[in-house]
Amino acid sequence: MPEEKREIKPVEESIGRITELAKKAPELIGVPTGVEGLDELFFVVEYVRNKPKKKPLGGIPLRSVINITGVADTGKTLMAEQFAVKQADLGYPVIFVSVESPGPFVASSLKYRAKAMGVDEKSVDEHVVIVDAASHSILREDVPTLLATIAHAIKKYKTKSVVIDSVTGLYEAREMLARSVVRSIFNFLKKWYQTGILISQKRSGHEELSAEAAGGYAVAHIVDGTIVVSKELITSQRAANLYKRQIGDIVRLFRIDGCRLCGHDTKVRFLEITEEGLVKIGPPISEAQ
Ligand SMILES: Nc1ncnc2c1ncn2[C@@H]1O[C@H](COP(=O)(O)OP(=O)(O)O)[C@@H](O)[C@H]1O
Ligand SMILES: [Mg+2]
């Protein structure tokens, strides 16, 4: 084969000075998540008379893309719904892309979540926009069509954030595509100035609290931050002592695996799901009682 001669040109737009680029970075502001106990776990460090001082952000960083990963039944969908309801309550339009559960189910689930959170149903009706990818296979199978649909909804409803439950459903049986799918979504959300919550599913059997599983592994390096949730059945006295629970109990655990935009708590904490179906983040397991 003849050697192809191609002209190699520098990409000038990729080069910039710190002063110019820093102006384009979003201000570090917290977006409340609607999950009790979570917002205080993100912080910024401010310098008061040259001494570093932690200041809580009060939510996830504005316009960040955060991945929540874990096995089934760890409260991921509940957190996604709580986030959407909270945005609606604050008057910010939000898109909920449902990949697993068909639109009507999501709608009633969100209303239920609003009731439990004490949020007026009307604000959810008005501000949450559902993209039903569960009922429309093309949205699950063709990323450009999905992104065109979300872009349409962003423009039409002037949304500030996008929740996708789950991104795993977009590369089912095509896991080698996970990274490229997630990268397209990440770049898309940045381009449209959206704060993003991406849910990803972890297969059981992977090390529980690490982000290194199908969903987590593929996604963790691309997104701005990862939250890992897990569930454990207590089967040994050792575990019972550790968690101060009884053998046979279920504990759900939570950890912020990383966030490159701000400081964050790093402890393994209890995650509780209340009877009304709300996720709450509890104390670190080291303070179990
Ligand atoms: N009122 C409720 N509504 C919904 N889920 C509830 C409720 N009360 C408790 N739960 C628990 O929350 C779990 C749902 O978690 P979910 O967010 O759907 O998990 P995941 O998305 O991680 O699979 C249920 O399996 C159930 O155990
Ligand atoms: Mg779910």
What does the pLDDT look like over 172-228, one tens digit per residue?
878 788 889 999 999 999 999 999 999 998 876 555 565 554 455 567 789 999 999
> 12 lies in a domain?
no
In a domain, 14, yes or no: no
The residue that leads in pLDDT, 154 or 289, is 154
Closest residue (by CA) to atom 6 of ligand 1? Answer: 277
If one counts every other C-beta atom within 10 angstroms of the C-beta of residue 116, the result is: 17
Closest CA to 265 of 78, 16, 54: 54
Ligand nearest to the CA of 83: 1
Tens-digit pLDDT profile for residues 228-258: 999 999 999 999 999 999 999 999 999 999 8
What is the phi/psi pair of residue 139, to 5°? -70, -25
Q: Identify the residue whose C-alpha is closest to ligand 1 atom 13.
A: 73
* CB-based pocket (< 6 A), ligand 1: 70, 72-78, 273, 275-277
> Any idea what the CATH number is for the domain that residue 205 is in?
3.40.50.300
72 CA closest ligand 1 atom index: 23
Q: Are 67 and 102 in contact (CB under 8 A)?
A: no
Report yes or no on 2 lying in a domain: no
* pTM score, whole prediction: 0.92
In a domain, 19, yes or no: no
Q: What span, in angstroms and rounded, lies between the C-alpha atoms of 108 and 112?
A: 6
Look at residues 89, 90, 81 and name the one whose alpha carbon lies nearest to residue 108: 81
The H or E element containing residue 111 is helix 103-117
Residue partners of 1: CB distance under 8 A and separation at least 6: none
Distance 273 CA to ligand 1 centre (A): 7
3 domain residue, yes or no? no
Please name which ligand lies nearest the alpha carbon of 74: 1
Is 61 among the domain residues?
yes
Ligand nearest to the CA of 279: 1
On whether residue 6 sits in a domain, the answer given is no
Most informative mutation of 71, 73, 166 for ligand 1 (most atoms within 8 A of CB): 73
Give the residue, by CA position, lying nearest to ligand 1 atom 24: 73
Residue range(s) defining the domain that contains residue 216 = 25-287
| Count: domains in the chain | 1
Q: How many helices (H) and strands (E) does the chain have?
A: 9, 14
Residues 102-148 have pLDDT tens digits of 999 999 999 999 999 999 999 999 999 999 999 999 999 999 999 99
Ligand 2 mean position to 109 CA, how many Å?
12
Q: Stretch 15-23: mean pLDDT, rounded?
A: 85
Contact 279, 116 (CB under 8 A): no
Which ligand has the shortest distance to the CA of 230?
1
* 103 is a domain residue: yes
Written as six digits, the tokens of 138 are 């093309």
Tell me how far apart the alpha carbons of residues 204 and 239 are, in angstroms, rounded to a whole number: 19
Directed axis angle between helix 76-89 and helix 103-117, to 10°?
Answer: 70
| Dihedral angle, C-alpha 120, 123, 125, 128, nearest 10 ° | -130
Question: Closest Cα to atom 7, ligand 1: which residue?
Answer: 277
- Distance (angstroms) between ligand 1 centre and the Cα of 11 equals 48
